[in-house]
Structure 1
């Protein structure tokens, strides 16, 4: 006899590999993916944890970013999020989900590799909300190179560094002028910071730097009552995977739970870290790796 009160088996809660082999040009799109990523559209229930918070999420058009935008809205927050110009259709869907939750959605095309675009983004957030309560530095770029460091061009290296590090640095620095005590910053690092995969050399380098940045900023901003934390996902099924990885059929199989996470499974960590329930948590990394042991 099955007891329906039991929690579901985490190994089978979402699709397991093997998936159909699939590839897309960067930046990738949600709709063609099989299985389609789950952002919590039908499952995430809000509990008023972020009432009237003014939030900024980079890379909110799809993947983890979309899941965070959806969850924040259902928890009572207004959301300004960024997307690349070629991701406009994806951004419309994220905005729809936020507005469907009864909250304000502001979608801004922004290349965070450009300092002036970061400055304009923070200015737009201040104009729309009057303040910034939560900044989520989530946008990232990767491109796997299976042939080693020789295959990593200077152009690629520069794009990875500027997207993953420069943008985070500029946005954090600029947002502080509009962030008061009780505010928080949440960065997206990765299991790659601790267990780097050689084909993702440059990406893994940046994710290690994000851990250090998070821990240092937490100490710097604690006297101002601003918390800084990070989330370190393991393998997550997002459009970035078919757009940047040479093989997708077995993606996530290496995790002890035997599958990749869905974006919806990452969002609760970002909600918790932004909530008052995490008031004594700063300088920490929430690891969501599917069981991969980390130091």
Structure 2
């Protein structure tokens, strides 16, 4: 969508100014709270107080995210970590409810890896599972809070979260960021949406149907390289499929891979098949 001059300036410069103007004073003011939480965690976790994990930032670039460690490292007899609900300590549950476990991320904001407001940084293994639309959430820096967080947080389904994230990417502005920050304060005080229903945290993302079709497409051409072009596929004539990189371009830059029926793989977002006739595996032009 078209971006106004004021919105463009805010994206390029104003957002970073806001981040530093809020994060630096907030880090100083909340230091006593952080030190108190660190002291309690050190006693409970025998010295383990900081959680570090690689997360994807803008354009998928990895950085180290910092949080207070709210779970133990308890494992079963086979050496596997126990479920989150069993590892989440009483102190950790309170830190999550109050969002104090997020305070170390102010350092990520000062370093320029996070923004105060943006889509939450998720796990790197989710990157190949996104549909092209969902992958747009990485067009901006991730944030400590975001539009999805003030509209349900972990109580939302993954697809709902991603729709909120993409909407935010298209509507970034100073007014929206200030609104999200104010709503965040309200939600933190009300301890709303901390976990998914029936879960201690939230369920892992395993992919959406629209993203799965692209993964099947890539796998098909990896094992059937001779199926490159469908002569009846219009713009796809003479093209061969290659591995789809993260954040790939429009769907009309990739060849279709039909397996048995038109409906199996469709253009993302359109609901229309790539062409009118199903192709036979390993053949060109559906012949």
TM-score by length of 1: 0.24
Q: Which has a greater percent of helix?
A: 2
TM-score by length of 2: 0.24
Q: More relative contact order in 1 or in 2 (CA 8 Å, sep 6+)?
A: 1
